[in-house]
Amino acid sequence: MSFDAERAVKATVKWIRDWFEVNGPGCSAIVGVSGGKDSSIAAALCAEALGKDRVVGVLMPNGDQADIDMAKLLVSHLGIENHIINIKGAFDSTISEMKAAGVEPSKDTVINLPPRLRMSTLYAVGQSRNGRVVNTCNLSEDWVGYSTRYGDSVGDFSPMSCFTTAEIRAMGRVLGLPEVLIEKVPSDGLSGMSDEDKLGFTYAVLDRYIRTGEIDDPATKERIDSLHKKNLFKLRFMDCFRYDGVEVKADE
């Protein structure tokens, strides 16, 4: 069955309205705007659902951001309130304090700290502005764990987590977003590589596999399956010990 982007947009917009009626009447949607397609389309969906006056875009460069003009284009196009909050001071201070404490930050730490600081910033803005934080992940990214735990993987509500990358792009066109934002090459903005370079396969291949189960290269299938299995913990509630009150014997 072909994807009906217009119908998907209407259904998502209604869901966002209904969610806010229950979980935040009168509240604003707080969106971390990177200039990529996901944050752009999430912001556009919220503006359509709530009105532009109830959407706040937060741009969070880590020092200089080469593509920040894309983020500025998005907030200008939608006409939403926006703020630029640079996280470089917080990032540099955390790394410096870790080193001073004798903990050498790993490469992955340096890559994943910024999105975690950004999420803390979004919640700080949300609490200060009576807002609810938007999760901007999509199904394709979630499928292979391409997000930072307690960074961009979280939020108060997730309007796009059941849509693939291709479907999100189609929805962006229905919403009338500039093509340059919809087709911007996906990148984490941290490693200097595109998403597809890091993953080792294209989103087109991944989307087809998710929706149809079809894939041409056995090695790519094995990699996708492995990533999916390894990262399922990111999608479930935190593992929690359930104590049943039964006495534990000394030798157990």
Q: What does pTM read for this prediction?
A: 0.91
Share of the chain above pLDDT 70, in %: 94
Query: Domain boundaries in the chain?
Result: 5-235
d(CA 183, CA 173): 10
Q: Among 171, 155, 165, 150, which residue's Cα sits nearest to residue 209?
A: 165
How confident is the model at residue 7, as a pLDDT?
97
Mean per-residue pLDDT of the chain:
93
The 10s digit of each residue's pLDDT in 70-105 is 999 999 999 999 999 999 999 999 999 999 999 999
pLDDT in single tens digits along all 252 residues of the chain: 689 999 999 999 999 999 999 999 999 999 999 999 999 999 999 999 999 999 999 999 999 998 899 999 999 999 999 999 999 999 999 999 999 999 999 999 999 999 999 999 999 999 999 999 999 999 999 999 999 999 999 999 999 999 999 999 999 999 999 999 999 876 666 666 788 888 899 999 999 999 999 999 999 999 999 999 999 998 888 888 888 877 666 655
How confident is the model at residue 243, as a pLDDT?
85
Contact yes or no for 193/42 (Cβ under 8 A): no
CATH number at 5-235: 3.40.50.620
The 10s digit of each residue's pLDDT in 114-143 is 999 999 999 999 999 999 999 999 999 999
